[in-house]
Amino acid sequence: MQYRKFGNLDWPVSALGFGCMRLPILGTEASQIDEDLATKMLAYAIDHGVNYVDTAYPYHSGQSEIFVGKFLKNGYRDKIRLATKLPCWEVKESDDFDRLLNEQLAKLQVEHIDFYLLHALNKDSWKKIYELDVLPWTEKAIADGRIGHLGFSFHDDYDTFKSIVDAYDKWTFCQIQYNYMDIGHQAGTRGLRYAASKGLAVVIMEPIRGGRLVDPPKAVQDVWDTAETKRKPADWALQWLWDQPEVSVVLSGMSNMQHVEENVASVANSGISTLTMDELKVIDQVRDQYDALSPIPCTKCEYCLPCPNGVNIPRAFEIYNQSVMYDKLEEARMDYNNWFDEDQRAHNCLDCKDCEEKCPQQIPVSEWMPHIHAVLGEGKAIEEVPRP
């Protein structure tokens, strides 16, 4: 196992962390964790040096924390640092902070959580819990021993990320979505480097973009095949992250034993600045090839915003493009229908064409919107819907 610096803490973290969001399940219900297999997987990882285990209140419909708590009773609590997260969306009033934390401590069967995160912060959720005095509350929870260190996980733009980092000088760490396709998305590379420059440890989630980078289209695989060093796409994605000194630990949501064994083997061959210039160029070419597969040439310049009817045009384009470039239509539909505000979806387009006058790429936005909603919102096959 390779170990790395965890921000300003005098504690070496394993470069690979175990994310307990995608544990193996029995059947199709996320709440039905295959505890026998999951136990073997976690034990294998920890026995091979993994010392950072990450879970959260909603994972596996609330069952992930319960499983992790039972697992740690098998002599593993002292071998790892435990991370879980405050479900900010469940907070309605300040009394909810204690209620939720105490519930999590009971589910995990521990008296102390090493690393506690404010979960999935964005501009709105941060404002809400900040005004409810979450920071003074966490300081009390640290003082009474229920929490060791405070951090946050994040899903918004770079400016929001920077403002949250700057809002508090006692953050120990942050967790961001980051991979070779997300260098300019959300916190991105700028956020990674900014947080590290402020002394925060940076925990990476979605290193293979929820599995989207594992099984690439032929055009992308052809680029990988040009590399002198042969690796599986997942290994390439992980090595790219571990190559960067600002990365503290990379979480992998492993769902079978093969994932665990391969990732443990991968991290053993990792290191800072170990990729060659030629290898880094291949990764850049892979990113370019993925982008070339996008049917809509949107650069997310946002000149089209604000839409008079509230449509988030760049986001609608992004979800649709990803459905094509990663060949993951069902996952894109899930993102569109579950994680995209209905008031901002494509069906709200009124065909006013105000955005088209402003678009540097001359995209026929009003023609794309009904196509996008029919495919992502109504579940129609792409070939069944007229394309602009």
Q: How confident is the model at residue 259 (pLDDT cuts 50, 70, 90)?
A: very high
| pLDDT at residue number 121 | 93
Q: Measured between alpha carbons, how far is 315 from 329 in angstroms, rounded to an integer?
A: 16
Range with the largest mean pLDDT of 97-111, 200-214, 331-345: 97-111
User: What confidence tens digit (pLDDT) does each residue in 10-39 have?
Assistant: 999 999 999 999 999 998 888 999 999 999
Q: What is the mean pLDDT of residues 336-358?
A: 93
Burial class of residue 11 (count of CB atoms within 10 Å of its CB; 0-12, 13-18, 19+): middle
Q: Assess whether pLDDT exceeds 90 at residue 316.
A: yes
- Cβ partners under 8 Å of residue 190, min gap 6: 158
Q: Residues 345-355: what's their mean pLDDT?
A: 94
Least confident of 12-16, 22-26, 296-300, 374-378: 296-300
Fold for the domain defined by 3-283: TIM Barrel (3.20.20)
Query: What 8-state DSSP symbol labels residue 375?
Result: I
Q: Give the DSSP letter string of 200-232.
A: -EEEEE-TTGGGTTTS--HHHHHHHTTSSS---
Look over the chain and give the mean of its residue pLDDT values, rounded to a whole number.
94
Share of the chain above pLDDT 70, in %: 100
φ, ψ dihedrals at 284, nearest 5°: -60, -40
pLDDT in tens, 126-145: 999 999 999 999 999 999 99
| 286 within 8 A of 316, measured Cβ to Cβ | no
Measuring CA to CA, which residue among 55, 59, 16, 44 is closest to residue 203?
16
Domain ranges of the chain: 3-283, 313-384
pLDDT at residue 210, as a whole number:
82
Burial (0-12, 13-18, 19+ Cβ within 10 Å), 294: middle
Mean pLDDT, rounded, for 200-228? 93
Confidence of residue 180 (pLDDT cuts 50, 70, 90): very high
Give the predicted TM-score (pTM) of the model: 0.86
Q: Is the pLDDT of residue 320 over 90?
A: yes
Produce one character per residue of 174-208: b if its CB has 16 or more CB atoms within 10 Å, e if not. Answer: bbbbbbbbbeebbbbeebbebbbeeebbbbbbbbb
CA-closest candidate to residue 35, choices 43, 44, 25, 27: 25
Is residue 226 exposed (0-12), middle (13-18) or buried (19+ Cβ within 10 Å)? Answer: exposed
Task: Please report the pLDDT score of residue 366 as a whole number.
Answer: 94
Q: How far apart are the first and last CA of the chain?
A: 51
CA distance 298 to 372: 14
pLDDT higher than threshold 90 for residue 185: no
pLDDT surpasses 90 at 301: no
Q: Does the pLDDT value for residue 238 go beyond 90?
A: yes
- Mean pLDDT within 196-219: 93
Q: Which of 276, 272, 279, 280 is nearest to 2 (CA)?
A: 272
Residue 302 reports pLDDT greater than 90 = no
Cβ-Cβ contacts under 8 Å for 321 (sequence gap 6 or more): 294, 295, 296, 298
Q: Quote the pLDDT of residue 59.
A: 93
252: which 2 tokens? 């992998």
pLDDT of residue 42: 97
Residue 297 confidence (pLDDT): 87
- Give per-residue pLDDT as tens, 40-88: 999 999 999 999 999 999 999 999 999 999 999 999 999 999 999 999 9
Mean pLDDT of the 83-104 span? 96
CA distances (Å), 362 to each of 120, 149, 322, in order? 34, 49, 20
Mean pLDDT, to the nearest integer, of 296-314?
90
What is the arithmetic mean of pLDDT over 93-122? Answer: 96
Q: Name every residue whose Cβ is closer than 8 Å to that of residue 241 and which is 6 or more positions away in sequence.
A: 178, 179, 204, 207, 247, 250
